[in-house]
Structure formats: C-alpha cells, structure tokens
Amino acid sequence: MRSSRLLASVLLIPLLAGCFASDGDTGTSGDNKDGSRLRVALAFPPAENLSPYGADATILSRLGVTEGLTALDANGAAAPALAASWQREDNRTWLFTLREATFQDGTDVTAKAVAASLTEATEAKPEPAALSGVTLTAKAEGRSAVRITTGDPDPVLPLRLASPSLAILAAKAYDEKDRVDLAGTATGPFELTKAGSSSATLDRYDDYWGGRAQASGIDAKFIADGTARTAALRTGDVDLAEAVPVAQAASLDEDTRRETATTRTTSLLLNSKSGVFKDAKLRAAARAAVDTSALADGVHEGHADAGVGIYGPAVTWAEGKRQQPVGRARAAQPDGTSITLATYDNRPELPEVAQVLKQQLEKAGFKVTLEVREYSRIESDALAGKFDAFVLARNSLVDTGDPVAVLAGDYTCDGGYNLALLCDRNVDRAVAQAEVTSDTAKRQDAVMAAEARILGTDAVVPLVHQRVITGVGADVRGALLDPYERTLVGTGTRR
C-alpha cells in the first residue's frame, strides 16, 4: 500500500462542451490560432501539497489539467469523459469503453494505464473521499475497455468516477514512492509546467482529444484574500477571479460579475464527541440560537438562501422530499458555558458569519471565543476535534455528484471528513440504507430520510445555501460557471 502522495504539481478536470453554463460564446475548441494566456485567481492555496486524492484535487480541477473516466453534466448526471460509454453487467460489475486519447507525454490512454491509475487511487492513504466505504478493482479488457468490480453493489459508480480525486494519470506518474508526478502524465487540455504554494503555470496541450484549447496557457495565482482577488480583477491583473466576496461584489461592473446558484451549504458543525457539545441538549441550544435569515440577508446581502438542510435549492429535487428532523433533544440553558468557535478566511464571508454567530450564541447564554485562520492552517485541528464549533462551507455534491457521498463522508462514524465527529448508530443505518438503494427516486427519498436523522442530532446546523460570485473580465469568453465548482477554464475559454 502506498502512503499519502505528495504532488509536486497541480491537477484539474476539464469541461465537456455544453456541460455547464458558459460565460459568453465558447467559439470553436479546435481553433488553430494561438490565443492569449489566461490569468486566473483561485481562492485556496494548496492545503495538502497538491495531493491528487484530497481537497486540492478539486481546487486544481478548475484549471483543466486532468480528467476522469466520467464528468458531471449540468443536471448532475454522469457524462462521458475518457470513457466514451459504459454499461452495467451485473449489480457489482461495470464495463467502461475508452475513447481514443493520449497522455500529455504523447503515449496512448490504454485500458492497462487506466486500470493501474484507479488501482493507485484505491491504495492511497488517506483514501479519496469518493471511495469512502467503497472497495473496487479495475482490470483491463483488451486495449480499450476497463471492467470495474465493486465489493458491494454501487448503483452510482459512473458518478463516483467523475470525482476530481479519481483522475486518470499515466503509469510514470507513480514511479516514485510517496509522490505523484503530474508532469506530462495527465490528459486534459492544459499541462502543468510549474507549481508552488502561491502560483501555477500551465501550457496548452495541443493534442487534447477534445480539441485544441483557444488559450495558449494559464497563469494561476492562489490569492486567499478575497479583497485582493477582486482588486486583481478590477485592475486587470487577472482575467478570472473565483469566489468574489459579497462585500466586494458592488465594486465590480455589472458585466464582470456573475452569480451562480451552487450546491454549497455553509453550516455550523458542533463537536459531538468531546467537550461542551457532547451534550445533545447544549447542541440543541446552539441550534435554537441561530437566526439563519440574519446571515442570508445580512452577511450575504441577499446573495444566499437561508439554510434549510444539508441540500439547498440548487439540488432541485430535495425540497419536495425533505423530512422533519428526527430525535432532537430538548434545549438546555447554556448558563455561560464557554466554547471555541473557529472558521477560515479563504471564503471572506465566513469570518463575518462566525462573528454574527458569536453574537447570537452569546445572546443565548454561551461565552464564545472566536478563532480564524487560513484553511490550510486550520483543517488538521478541526478534524482532530480541537474546536467546539466550526463554520464550514461545503459543496454537498463535490466528491461524487451522488448526494449520499457527503452524508457518508461527513456524518458517519467512519467518515473521512467528519468535522462534527458525529458517530450515531441511527444515522449510520440511514446512510447505509441510502447507499444500497438503486432506484433514483427511492435513493433520493432515502437520502432525505438520512438528512432528517443527521439534523436530528443537531451536530450540524445549516446556515445558508450559497450563490457563488465569479469575477469575469469584460474581454473573457467561455468561462464555465459550474454549480458543482469543479470547472472554471476549458477549451473554449479565451480572451
């Protein structure tokens, strides 16, 4: 088994034409003109040394370097990527037929290479969130087909394989132990040539199977400060700026400001394993103290919806199936109980959200100490349960596109991103039931039943459902405004 891999480079998933809303005319991806380089400001510096198996894979998936067997279309369904088609052979076995494509070193994408890459992902430690609770084996069938078998029935495997953390890389990416090398080993329209903690440089890969990109390359900057990101767009230093703070939105001209409903929910996570909020009655008191409308209308200035659940309005089927929380405790009086509330400043609204929460909780009788850091310097402490409460903005469909995945990863005893440290047998049973349900409508019903169980513990308090504001330069065309926040730049993005 390989240990945790450290990337010396940056990753990404390219867009498929027509998958997401594009900002203006995309033109023809096969255009032969040498376009200008794109300058992009991203909000999150690498938190895990650009590991392809963790959160950094999603950051990098916005630049168009890597891709998986599948991608997500605008409706959240699995769409072809390196796999041109697939079929389910039985309840545990799928056959994926590959399209003709090459890695960025010019070698062919073969079934053997794909199977080896997926095997590397299954052996990574820690495991990719998309594989949480999943066992799979991949075997080449001839040169152009891969048979994937799962330990248990997995009705959403094509969605799972669209995860940014399951990108396909050439065999030489894994030549060195404890390190994955992306130089010339990915398959997307842009090839990484240089990367560091504050910037990355990418050049166009001219032989990309989806057509030659119109931009000749990308110069990406990781700018954690939202005001600085917005200023860089306003002054013309960058062409695209993600996650423009609400407070800065008005400083942009209307034609350079784009707002997109997303599947991202900001929540208050309460440490249910140790400390003050091990007591369900005090968790209930914290939940009762929160006024979500003050956060949506005040902090977010109307650029968000008040929290109603783990899944918000962008998950269009959720509201009609939502159930009342199950098993909530009666709230106790805080009586001056001291708590530590933490969050990060990469998303500029979060510290302000936390400040308002601090006031609301103190009004209810808690004594609150607030701690704010940059995400890469706070994640490990949050996962270790060093805070009583944590404010997190989380994309509910980011890991697999399957709504069950965020429940399993974030709220079960064995979840790999369980910041609430929740371990509840009834929750685990409800999530397990959703995981084995194949029919789409019934699976959605099971998901909402599990959500009701999770909300009933008061370990998570949904605060707001976000709309993301992206800064797009006036001369930029073809930026991808993706509700799943996996893509930003593709073959048709240009200036």
Distance CA 247, CA 344 (A): 17
The answer on pLDDT for 22 being more than 80 is: no
pLDDT of residue 47: 78
The answer on pLDDT for 6 being more than 90 is: no
Q: Are the beta carbons of 81 and 187 closer than 8 angstroms? A: no
Indicate the burial class of 381 (C-beta count within 10 angstroms; 0-12, 13-18, 19 or more): middle
- Average pLDDT of the chain is 89
- Name the token pair of 319: 């509201």
The answer on pLDDT for 10 being more than 50 is: no
The string of DSSP codes covering 131-157 is GTT--EEEEEETTTEEEEEESS--TTH
Amino acid at 303: H
Distance CA 334, CA 134 (A): 41
Instruction: Provide the pairing of β-strand 460-472 with 304-306.
Output: antiparallel
The answer on pLDDT for 33 being more than 70 is: no
Sign of CA dihedral 222, 228, 229, 231: negative
Half-sphere exposure of 485 (CA within 13 A, CB side): 30
N residues, the chain: 495
Instruction: Provide the pairing of β-strand 83-90 with 338-344.
Output: unpaired
Half-sphere exposure of 365 (CA within 13 A, CB side): 14
- Name the token pair of 25: 């005319």
- Name the token pair of 213: 């990109």
The answer on pLDDT for 17 being more than 70 is: no
Instruction: Calculate the CA dihedral of residues 75, 77, 79, 85 and round it to 10 degrees.
Output: -150
pLDDT of residue 316: 82
Select the CATH number that applies to the domain covering 6-223+473-481 from these four: 3.40.50.360, 3.20.190.10, 3.40.190.10, 2.60.120.40.
3.40.190.10
pLDDT of residue 439: 82
Q: What residues contact 359, with CB distance under 8 A and at least 6 apart? A: none
Q: Are the beta carbons of 162 and 401 closer than 8 angstroms? A: yes
The whole-model pTM stands at 0.75
The closest alpha carbon to 49, from 20, 13, 85, 8, belongs to 8
Mean pLDDT to the nearest integer, 418-426: 97
Place of tokens 């140790």: 274
The answer on pLDDT for 1 being more than 50 is: no
Share above pLDDT 70 across residues of the chain, in percent, rounded to a whole number: 93
User: What is the third-level CATH fold of 261-467?
Assistant: Dipeptide-binding Protein; domain 3 (3.10.105)
pLDDT of residue 76: 77
pLDDT of residue 195: 87
Backbone angles phi, psi at 36, to 5 degrees: -70, 160
Strands, E assignment, 271-319: 304-306
The answer on pLDDT for 222 being more than 50 is: yes
The answer on pLDDT for 482 being more than 90 is: no
Range from 21-30, 299-308, 456-465, 484-493 that averages highest in pLDDT = 456-465
Mean pLDDT to the nearest integer, 285-295: 97
Q: What is the pLDDT of residues 360-381, one digit of tens each?
A: 999 999 999 999 999 999 999 9
Mean pLDDT to the nearest integer, 253-276: 93
The closest alpha carbon to 163, from 312, 55, 65, belongs to 55
Share above pLDDT 90 across residues of the chain, in percent, rounded to a whole number: 69
Q: Are the beta carbons of 88 and 94 closer than 8 angstroms? A: yes
pLDDT of residue 189: 96
Is 262 strand, coil or helix?
A: strand
Distance CA 311, CA 483 (A): 13
The closest alpha carbon to 476, from 230, 199, 228, 258, belongs to 258
| Boundaries of every domain in the chain | 6-223+473-481, 261-467
Mean pLDDT to the nearest integer, 469-494: 92
Distance CA 241, CA 232 (A): 8
Mean pLDDT to the nearest integer, 52-60: 81
Considering only CA atoms, give the Rg of the chain.
22
Distance CA 229, CA 256 (A): 13
Going by pLDDT thresholds of 50, 70 and 90, the confidence category of residue 130 is: confident
Distance CA 4, CA 250 (A): 42
Mean pLDDT to the nearest integer, 322-349: 95
Place of tokens 């995945």: 405
The answer on pLDDT for 414 being more than 60 is: yes
Distance CA 212, CA 490 (A): 10
Mean pLDDT to the nearest integer, 285-301: 95
The answer on pLDDT for 264 being more than 70 is: yes
Cis geometry, peptide bond prior to residue 126 (ω within 30 degrees of 0)? yes
Q: Which helix (H) or strand (E) holds 88?
A: strand 83-90
Distance CA 404, CA 412 (A): 11
Going by pLDDT thresholds of 50, 70 and 90, the confidence category of residue 292 is: very high
The answer on pLDDT for 113 being more than 80 is: yes
Higher-pLDDT residue of 388 and 152 is 388
Mean pLDDT to the nearest integer, 2-21: 38
- Name the token pair of 190: 């842009």
Is 284 strand, coil or helix?
A: helix
Query: How many Å separate Cα 478 from the centre of its chain?
Result: 21
The answer on pLDDT for 139 being more than 50 is: yes
pLDDT of residue 262: 84
Instruction: Provide the pairing of β-strand 338-344 with 367-373.
Output: parallel
Other CB atoms within 10 A of residue 413 CB: 13
Please give the DSSP secondary-structure letter assigned to residue 171.
G
pLDDT of residue 184: 87
Distance CA 328, CA 170 (A): 50
Mean pLDDT to the nearest integer, 379-406: 90
Query: How many Å separate Cα 10 from the centre of its chain?
Result: 16
Q: Are the beta carbons of 399 and 409 closer than 8 angstroms? A: yes
- Name the token pair of 90: 């039985």
Going by pLDDT thresholds of 50, 70 and 90, the confidence category of residue 178 is: confident
Indicate the burial class of 388 (C-beta count within 10 angstroms; 0-12, 13-18, 19 or more): buried
